[in-house]
Structure 1
Amino acid sequence: MKRFIVLSLMVGISFLSVFSQRSERILEEGWKFARGRYASAEKVNYDDKLWSSVTVPHDYAILGPFDRNNDLQDVMNIQNKETKVNRKTGRTGGLPYDGEAWYRCHFRLNGNSRSFLYFDGVMSEATVFVNGRQVAFQPNGYAAFQVEITSYAHRPGKDNVLAIKLDSKAHSSRWYPGAGIFREVRLIETGDVLLSAWNTKVITKIVGANKAEVSVDATIVGENKSGSIVRLELLDTNRNVVASRQASVRAGEQNSRQILTVLNPRLWSPEQPNLYHLRISLVRDKRVVDHLEQEVGIRSVEFVKGQGFFLNGKHRQIQGVCIHHDLGALGTAVNESALRYRLRLLKNMGCDAIRTSHNLPSSLLPRLCDEMGLMLLIEPFDEWDIPKCEKGFHRYFEDYAERIVRDMVRHFRNHASVILWGIGNEVPNQRDPEGWKLVKRLQQYCHEEDSTRSVTVCMDQIPYVLANGFAKEVDIPGINYNTWNFEKAAAVWQQGMILGSETASTVSSRGVYKFPLKLRSMAMYADHQSSGYDVEYCSWSNTPDVDFSLAEKYPWYLGQFVWTGFDYLGEPTPYNNDNWPSHSSLFGIIDLANIPKDRYYLYRSLWNKRDHTLHILPHWTWHGREGQVTPVMVYTDYPEAELFLNGKSMGRRRKLSLSEVQSMKGDSLALLRHYRLIWDSVKYESGKLVVVAYDREGHPAMSDSVCTAGQPYRLVATVDKHSVCANGTEYAFVQLKVVDRQGNLCPDSSERIRFRVDGCGEFVASANGDPTDLNPFHISEMPVFQGQLMAIVRGNGRVGELLFEASADGLLPCKIKIKTK
C-alpha cells in the first residue's frame, strides 16, 4: 500500500521584541500615493506634498469607476471550449487596476544593528527604493518578500525615504487582481545575530493518542563566532509549559535541531483547532538576543492509496471551496475583521477547507485558518511559461518560478492548516507531451523544502493528460470539473486517489429564479442574471449534486473545492463575452455583498454535521404568476418533508436513494432528488408556504416558511457585532432588508438606500450582490438587490458610539448603535 503521509506541527509566526533585540513596526500610516508616471519619484528630496495621503493596506483601483473599456481583452479561451476570439468585457471587473503608480513614506530606525523591510504583497511588478537606491524588485504581486536594508538606511534618528514604484500591466489577469500595496509592510530591526523566520521548520515526527514528538529546526543568521544557545518552550492555552529544551550551537555553526516530547497532546482539526504556543529564544553570553513566538497545533495527515484522506487517523472527505483574494466591496486590501466575517460564514456552512485560487494568500489567511479550523491548499500560479494572459506571469516564470515556489513553502510550511501544496492551475502545458517534466521540477522544489506534505496540480485537460503522462509524477492528481472522466482517470493513474480540485461552477443570482425549472448550460437572459434554483452551470461544469454523488460513491475521492465560495470581481460567466455591464462572477455560494445564496443551504444540508438545515425556495412574491407552475425546493439534512400552501398539503417528499435515481428514465432532475426535496408542480397563489421536516423516525422535527410580501414599508438592519475597535481597523457588517408591514422581505424591491454615520464612526463601503450594478462601493448610497444589501462601517479614532442610519424614499428608516472602544 502506497502512502503519502504528512505529520506536521503548525506554526503561525508572530515576532515579539520581548527580551530580545528584535523590534517590528507595521508601516500603516504616513503614506503618500499617486497614479501615473513620475520621474525621479524615488529620490529623497522629491516633492510629494500634492499626492494623496493613504493608509496601507490600500487598493487604489476599487474606487473605480467601473467602465466597459477598462482592460478589454480579446481572447479565445480554449479551456472554456471557445473556438473563436471573443471580447471579454468585465473580465477583470471593469476597474482601472493597470498602469504605473507610486507610494512614498518616511521612517526612522531605533538603533539595532540590522534592518529589514517585509512586504506581504504588492500589486504588482514592484520596484522598491530606500533613500533613492533600488533594493528589490518583485514581479509577482501576490508573493511576500523581504529585503535587508542595513546598508541603505541612515543611522538611527535620521529620516529615511521608502519609495515603491508599481507597474501593473493590462491584460495580465483573468480576474480582478487589485492594485497597490494591498497587504501589510513591516520594518524589522534585529541585532547582528538573529533567528531566520522562514528557515524555521517545525515537524511532528510521531503523533499518537498519548505522545507527540516535535522536531524544531532553527537557523541562525549572522556570524556565530562564540557559540549560542537555542532555547525552546512549548506552552498550552493556559500558558503552562508542557515541554522545553535547549541546545548549544557551536561557534561557526548555524543550525539547531531539537525534539520536544508532548504527552497527551490536544490535536488540531477543523472541529477542534487546538493550539499551543512555541517560544524560540536565541541566547548569547547569557542574554537573549533574538526571540520568536509562534502558535502551534499538532495534527497528522495521510493520503492513502485506494482509501482516501485521513486527518488524525480518521477518514474524511475535504469539504472545501476555492476563493479569490478580493473582499468584495472592500477590494483586495487585507483586513482581518472582513476576512474573519467571511470565514465564519464558511464554517457555518460546514466548509472545512480553502484553496487559494490561483495565487499565494496573505499571511493573515493561514493564521486565521489555524485559529478557526480550516484546512488549506495553497498554490502560486495560474500559468507557467505558456501564457493564458498576454501580460501574465509567464514573462517571469523561467527566472522566478523556483524562488516563488520555495518561498511559498518556507513561508507557510509550519501552518497545520496547510495540508497540500499546489503548483499550477489549468496550465496550457497540460497539452504539451513534455509538460510532465515541469510538474516533476516544481514538485521537487516543494519536496526539498518540505518533505512532509504532498503536492497536487489542478488539471482540466483530462483527455490530453491521460494520453501524455502529464500527471504521472505528481503526488496527488487534481481534476477540475470533468466529472465524466473521474472513473477513467482512476483506472489509469497509479496514485490511487483523485482530488476534486475545482468543482461545480454552478451559476446563480441571489433571489432570482427562472422558469420553467430545468437544467441549463450557459443559460443567458436579458437581465444578465442566473437562476437561484441552482440548476444552471457552465459548458465545462455541472450542478453540485454530481460532485456530491462522486463523494458518496468512491473511497479514492479525496473531496472537493467548489468554485467558488464567494462571488468575486471579474469573470462574469456566462455573461463574459461582450456583455457589459456584467462585471462580477455568479459562481459564488455567497454573493459579492457577503449574503448567502440559496446554494449555501444546499451545501450546508450535507456538510454541516453539527446543526440542522431547513431552507425553502423560491421566495413567494410572484405578482402576475397566479395559477402558473412555480416549483418549490427544500434544502435539508432531514430525509423527508411535507409542503403546505395556505394550509393545504402539496404532498410529502422524501430523498430518493441513488439506486432509485439511477432507475429513473427521462427525468433530468433525477439526481437532484437524492439531495433535494422538489415539488415540481406547485401552482402559485399568494399567501404562505410552509415546509415541515420529519426525522428518520417520521416525527415532525423542524419547520420553515415564506410569505407573499406586501408593499415595501420599512428598512430593518442586523449587525454582526455591537462594538468595534475605535482605531478604524475593525469593520462591522450591517445587513439591510426592505420589508412590508408584517416584516416579510420584499424580494422584488430595488429602492435606493442612503447611509449616514454619526458620532465616533464612519461609512466604509456597501454592496448589493448584483453582478451588473455599477454603483461605486465607497459612495454612501446603494440600491438594494432583491430587497437586500450590506453596508460596512468602522470607528473613526474616537472612543464612544457610532450611530448608523439607513433611509430611502417612502420607507421608514432604521438605526443601529455600535460602541467604539
Structure 2
Amino acid sequence: MHIRKFFLLATILCSVCSLNAQRHEQLLETGWKFHKGEANGAETISFNDSQWESVCIPHDWAIYGPFDRNNDLQNVAITQNLEKQASVKTGRTGGLPYVGVGWYRTRFDADPDKKTTLVFDGAMSEARVYVNGKEACFWPFGYNSFHCDITELLHKEGKDNVLAVRLENRPQSSRWYPGAGLYRNVHLITAEKIHVPVWGTQITTPHVANDYASVCLRTSLQNAGKEEITIETEILDPNGKRVSFKKNSGRINHRQPFTQNFIVENPQLWSPETPFLYQAVSKIYANGELTDTYTTRFGIRSIEFVADKGFFLNGQHRKFQGVCNHHDLGPLGAAINVSALRHQLTLLKDMGCDAIRTAHNMPAPELVRLCDEMGFMMMIEPFDEWDIAKCENGYHRYFNEWAEKDMVNMLRQYRNNPCVVMWSIGNEVPTQCSSEGYKVAKFLQDICHREDPTRPVTCGMDQVSCVLDNGFAAMLDIPGFNYRAHRYEEAYQRLPQNLVLGSETSSTVSSRGVYKFPAERKADAKYEDHQSSSYDLEYCSWSNIPDIDFALADDYQWTLGQFVWTGFDYLGEPSPYDTDAWPNHSSMFGIIDLASLPKDRYYLYRSVWNKQAETLHILPHWNWEGREGKEVPVFVYTNYPTAELFINGKSYGKQTKNNQSVENRYRLMWHNAIYEPGEVKVVAYDEHGTAKAEKIIRTAGKPHHIELVSSRQSLTADGKELAYVTVRVVDKDGNLCPTDMRLVKFKVKGAGSYKASANGDPTCLDLFHLPQMHAFNGMLTTIVQSGKEAGVLELQVTAKGLKSGKIQIEVK
C-alpha cells in the first residue's frame, strides 16, 4: 500500500505587529481618484486629477453597469462544454462593462529612511504601478498578490508621494465576470533595513500528536549580510498564553532562512470543527539592536492521503464536503468585503460545507484568513489557462514568463495557513491532452513541492480519456476529476494513486422558486422564460445530479469527496442560456443564488452533510392556480429516513429512502401528489418509526405586506460591515407569495447607508446599486452598510399595493 503523508500546520499572512516602531503597515483605502479610459501623463507628479471620481479601495468600476448584450460578446466554441462549432456567447462575462483601461491615483507619506514596500492583494489587470512618475513594477495577472520595493522612488523628505496605477482588461480575457480595478486591498509597509520580507516566514509541524507537536519556523531576512542575528520567538496559544519560547543567534548562511524549532505540549489541533489558531511572535535583533517584530499566525494539524483509504485530518478519516466559488460577491461585484465573505461562509457552514475550492483563481487573503478562523479546508487554485488558450486574451499570453512568479507568490502567501490542505495547479486546461502536457504539469507541481513540501498537488481534469492514456493523471499527487462520475471506478483501477477526488462536481442548474413539469432528469433543458427547474433534476450535458456524487462518496473509501460547482451563483457563464440567450447574464449552478438566498438544493446538501442539525424541507411552493386536480410532485429533503405527506389532511402515504434509484437514496418524492389549494404537511420519522419533525406550507392569499429579516441585529461602526436583509412579499398571515415580481424600493436613514440589492433572477437587468429591485418569486435581498458613527440604521421598504416594512439595526 502506498501511503503519502503530509504534516503541516500553517499561518495566515505575515501579519504585522503594531506594538513596535520598527515596522508599520497601513491600508491605502481612502483619498483615491479614479478615471475610466486612457489618461496621458497620469503617472506624473504634476498631472491634474481634480476632475476624476473620488473612490475608496477596494473598488470595482464595472459593477455599476449598465448591463448590455454587447459588452464583451464572444464568438467561440467552448471545448470544455463539448462544443464543436463557434457561436455567439451573450452574458458570458456578466454583461458588465469590465473591458478597457482604468487609472487610479493617490498620495501618501512614508519615512524615507526606512525600507518601503507596496503590496497589492490583487489588481484587475495588467497592473503598471508608478511612484512619483517612475514605474515601480508591472504585474499582469489580475488575481495574484504582488509587491514592489519603492524605497528608491520616494521623495527625499518622504512627504506627498504620488502613487498611480494603470489597469487594463482586454476583451475576451475571461470566461466569467472578472471584475475591474483595484478590487482588493493595497498595503503600504515600512520597515528597518534588516527586516522580514513580505511572506517571509514558513512554519511546518514535522510531528503532530495529541500529547505534543513539533513546530519548525523558518524566517527569511533581507539585508542581514554578515550581521550577528538573534531571533526571539514565543509561541502563543489560541488564548494568547505563551506555550513555547526560543532564543537563537547566528548568521544567515548562504541566504538560507533562519531556523527555529519548538515543542508545543498538548496542542489544540486545527480542524473545521475546532479551528484553533496559534501565533509565532518573532523579535529580530541585529548586533543586539531590535530591527523588526513579525507575527505569523498558524494552526497545528496533520493531513494524510492514504491509497485505497482516503483522506485523514488529524488521523480522522473524512470526505471533502466542498464547494467551488468564483470570487465575485454578487451585487457587490469583485470588490472584496470581509463582512460579505463572512456572510457567505456562514451560510455554507450551516449547510454542512467544510471545504472551498478557489475556482479558478487565486483568492483574496481575507477569504483565506476567514477559512482559518471559521473552519473551512481549502484547495487553492491559480489558473484556468496554461500555455494553450481558452480565451483569445487569456492567461496563456503570460504563462511561459509569469507562471512560476505567480505560483511562488501564491505558495509563499498561503503555505502557512492551516485551512489550505492541497494545491491545484489548473482547471480543465487544454494542455492536458497535449502529448507534452505532462511536462507542463510536472513543472508546476515541482514548484509546489519546492516551495511547500507538506501538501499534495492536484489538477481539475475533464478529459478523462486523454489523461488516463498519456500519463498526465498518473503524475499528479492526487488525480482530480471534473464531472465524469461514471469513470471514477475506471480511473481508480488504472491510476497508481488509488484515490480519486471530485475536484468539480454536479453542475446542476436551478432558478430559485421556479418549477417545471414533469419533474424528471433532463440535460441542457431550456424554456421560454430562460429559467431552470428547482426540482434539482436538471444539469448540463457534461455533468449530473447531486445524488450521484453523494453515492460515490458514501460507497467507496477511495473517493476523497467533492467540490460542487458552485456554492453561490456568480456573474457570467449563464449555462444553459449562454448562446445568444440575452438577457441571461449570471450562472444557475449555485446552491445559493446571487442574492445569497438558498435554493431548494441547499436543503438537499444540508440533509446529507450537516450531521448536527435537523433538516426538513418541502418543495415546491403551493400556489398553482390553473393546475387544480393535476399532478404537482412534492419532494422532501430531510436527514430522517422516512416521511409522510398530507395535503389538506389526506395522506399520500409514507416514503422511505431506498436503493431503487440514486434519487431515492437521498430524496423522498411523491410524484402522484395532486394540487388543490390549502395545506401541505410533512411528518418525518426516525429509523424506529417515531415522529420527530413536522413542516407545513400553505397556499398564499393576496399579497398584503412586506416582511423583513436581517442577518445581523447590530453592526460595528467602521463604515464597512454589512447586514443582508431578506425582503419577503407575504399575505396577511405571513405566507410567502411565491409568484410576486413587483418592484420594491428602499430608503436608509440614520447610522448607515444603502449598499446594493439582488433578487437571484439570472435574467434581471435591474442595477444592483440603485435603491430599487424587482422581487423574484416573492423574495429579494437588500444590503445595508454601517456608518462610522454609532446610532441606529433604519431601512424602510415600500412597494405599490403593499403595506410597507421597516427594520432597525443598531450600529455601535
Alignment check: 8 A CA contact 2:235 2:280 kept? yes
- Which of residues 723, 728, 731 is equivalent to 2:719? 728
Alignment of 1:86-485 (within 5 A): 86-250=87-251, 254=255, 255-485=257-487
C-alpha displacement of 1:20? 4.2
Could you say which residue in structure 1 is the equivalent of 2:601? 599
C-alpha displacement of 1:230? 1.0
**Structure 1 CA distance for aligned equivalents of residues 67 and 96 of structure 2:** 5
C-alpha displacement of 1:285? 4.3
Could you say which residue in structure 2 is the equivalent of 1:540? 542
Could you say which residue in structure 1 is the equivalent of 2:672? 681
Q: Which stretches in structure 1 are left out of the alignment for 5+ residues?
A: 662-669
Q: Provide Cα deviations, 1:330-372, integer angstroms capped at 9, x if missing partner.
A: 0000000000000000000000000000000011111100000
Could you say which residue in structure 2 is the equivalent of 1:664? none
C-alpha displacement of 1:647? 1.1
C-alpha displacement of 1:196? 2.5
Alignment check: 8 A CA contact 1:108 1:156 kept? no
**Structure 2 CA distance for aligned equivalents of residues 349 and 382 of structure 1:** 28
C-alpha displacement of 1:76? 0.7
Q: Provide Cα deviations, 1:165-195, integer angstroms capped at 9, x if missing partner.
A: 0111010000000000000000000001001
**Structure 1 CA distance for aligned equivalents of residues 4 and 335 of structure 2:** 37
Paired residue type of 2:244:
A
**Structure 2 CA distance for aligned equivalents of residues 785 and 96 of structure 1:** 24
RMSD, aligned CA = 1.1
**Structure 2 CA distance for aligned equivalents of residues 251 and 678 of structure 1:** 68
Identity of aligned residues (%): 51
Could you say which residue in structure 1 is the equivalent of 2:38? 37
Could you say which residue in structure 2 is the equivalent of 1:508? 510
Alignment of 1:42-53 (within 5 A): 42-53=43-54
**Structure 1 CA distance for aligned equivalents of residues 70 and 740 of structure 2:** 30
Alignment check: 8 A CA contact 2:33 2:55 kept? yes
Alignment check: 8 A CA contact 2:252 2:258 kept? no
C-alpha displacement of 1:251? 6.6
Q: TM-score, normalised by structure 2?
A: 0.99
Secondary structure at 1:63 match in 2: coil
Secondary structure at 1:552 match in 2: helix
**Structure 2 CA distance for aligned equivalents of residues 730 and 112 of structure 1:** 36
Could you say which residue in structure 2 is the equivalent of 1:649? 651
C-alpha displacement of 1:111? 4.8
Could you say which residue in structure 1 is the equivalent of 2:12? 12
Confirm whether residue 767 of structure 1 aligns to residue 758 of structure 2: yes
Alignment check: 8 A CA contact 2:175 2:572 kept? yes
Alignment check: 8 A CA contact 1:20 1:288 kept? no
C-alpha displacement of 1:283? 1.9
**Structure 2 CA distance for aligned equivalents of residues 686 and 404 of structure 1:** 59
Alignment check: 8 A CA contact 2:631 2:674 kept? yes
Secondary structure at 1:172 match in 2: coil
Decide whether aligned partners of structure 1 residues 251 and 618 sit closer, same or farther in structure 2, where only a CA change above 3 A counts: closer
**Structure 1 CA distance for aligned equivalents of residues 31 and 708 of structure 2:** 35
**Structure 2 CA distance for aligned equivalents of residues 289 and 510 of structure 1:** 57
Q: Provide Cα deviations, 1:307-351, integer angstroms capped at 9, x if missing partner.
A: 100000010000000000000000000000000000000000000
Paired residue type of 1:47:
N
**Structure 2 CA distance for aligned equivalents of residues 112 and 249 of structure 1:** 26
- Which of residues 782, 785, 804 is equivalent to 1:813? 804
**Structure 2 CA distance for aligned equivalents of residues 70 and 325 of structure 1:** 20
Alignment check: 8 A CA contact 1:728 1:797 kept? yes
Could you say which residue in structure 1 is the equivalent of 2:492? 490
Q: Provide Cα deviations, 1:513-572, integer angstroms capped at 9, x if missing partner.
A: 000111100000011000000000000000000111111111110010000000000000
C-alpha displacement of 1:83? 1.8
Alignment check: 8 A CA contact 2:112 2:151 kept? no
Alignment check: 8 A CA contact 1:726 1:795 kept? yes
C-alpha displacement of 1:223? 3.1
Q: Which stretches in structure 2 are left out of the alignment for 5+ residues?
A: none
Could you say which residue in structure 1 is the equivalent of 2:695? 704
Confirm whether residue 526 of structure 1 aligns to residue 528 of structure 2: yes
Alignment check: 8 A CA contact 2:112 2:155 kept? no
Which one is further off, 243-252 or 788-797? 243-252
**Structure 2 CA distance for aligned equivalents of residues 495 and 614 of structure 1:** 39
**Structure 2 CA distance for aligned equivalents of residues 570 and 818 of structure 1:** 33
C-alpha displacement of 1:805? 0.5
Q: Provide Cα deviations, 1:204-237, integer angstroms capped at 9, x if missing partner.
A: 0101110100000011111344312111111123
Paired residue type of 2:621:
H
C-alpha displacement of 1:156? 3.9
**Structure 1 CA distance for aligned equivalents of residues 689 and 79 of structure 2:** 51
Secondary structure at 2:63 match in 1: helix
Paired residue type of 2:711:
D
Which one is further off, 273-282 or 382-391? 273-282
**Structure 2 CA distance for aligned equivalents of residues 295 and 701 of structure 1:** 44
Decide whether aligned partners of structure 1 residues 37 and 197 sit closer, same or farther in structure 2, where only a CA change above 3 A counts: closer
**Structure 1 CA distance for aligned equivalents of residues 356 and 718 of structure 2:** 30
Confirm whether residue 695 of structure 1 aligns to residue 686 of structure 2: yes
Alignment check: 8 A CA contact 2:272 2:354 kept? yes
Paired residue type of 1:240:
K
- Which of residues 744, 747, 750 is equivalent to 2:738? 747
Paired residue type of 1:442:
L
Alignment check: 8 A CA contact 1:716 1:739 kept? yes
**Structure 2 CA distance for aligned equivalents of residues 685 and 576 of structure 1:** 37
Which one is further off, 76-85 or 710-719? 76-85
**Structure 2 CA distance for aligned equivalents of residues 561 and 239 of structure 1:** 34
**Structure 1 CA distance for aligned equivalents of residues 610 and 252 of structure 2:** 55
Q: How many residues align?
A: 810
Secondary structure at 1:472 match in 2: helix
Alignment of 1:656-671 (within 5 A): 656=658, 658=659, 661=660, 670-671=661-662
**Structure 2 CA distance for aligned equivalents of residues 45 and 353 of structure 1:** 49
**Structure 2 CA distance for aligned equivalents of residues 644 and 10 of structure 1:** 52
Q: Provide Cα deviations, 1:264-308, integer angstroms capped at 9, x if missing partner.
A: 111000011111222111123444321112322110000111110
Paired residue type of 2:24:
S
Which one is further off, 96-105 or 16-25? 16-25
**Structure 2 CA distance for aligned equivalents of residues 48 and 169 of structure 1:** 24
Alignment of 1:779-798 (within 5 A): 779-798=770-789
**Structure 2 CA distance for aligned equivalents of residues 798 and 371 of structure 1:** 27
Could you say which residue in structure 2 is the equivalent of 1:667? none
Secondary structure at 2:183 match in 1: coil
- Which of residues 709, 720, 724 is equivalent to 1:718? 709
Alignment check: 8 A CA contact 1:767 1:777 kept? yes
Secondary structure at 1:471 match in 2: helix
Alignment check: 8 A CA contact 1:6 1:300 kept? yes
Decide whether aligned partners of structure 1 residues 720 and 457 sit closer, same or farther in structure 2, where only a CA change above 3 A counts: same
Paired residue type of 2:645:
L
- Which of residues 550, 553, 573 is equivalent to 2:552? 550
Which one is further off, 408-417 or 718-727? 718-727
Q: TM-score, normalised by structure 1?
A: 0.98
**Structure 2 CA distance for aligned equivalents of residues 408 and 4 of structure 1:** 23
**Structure 2 CA distance for aligned equivalents of residues 716 and 344 of structure 1:** 22
**Structure 2 CA distance for aligned equivalents of residues 217 and 579 of structure 1:** 54
Paired residue type of 1:4:
R
C-alpha displacement of 1:151? 0.3
**Structure 1 CA distance for aligned equivalents of residues 615 and 4 of structure 2:** 35
**Structure 2 CA distance for aligned equivalents of residues 206 and 604 of structure 1:** 35
Alignment check: 8 A CA contact 2:203 2:298 kept? no
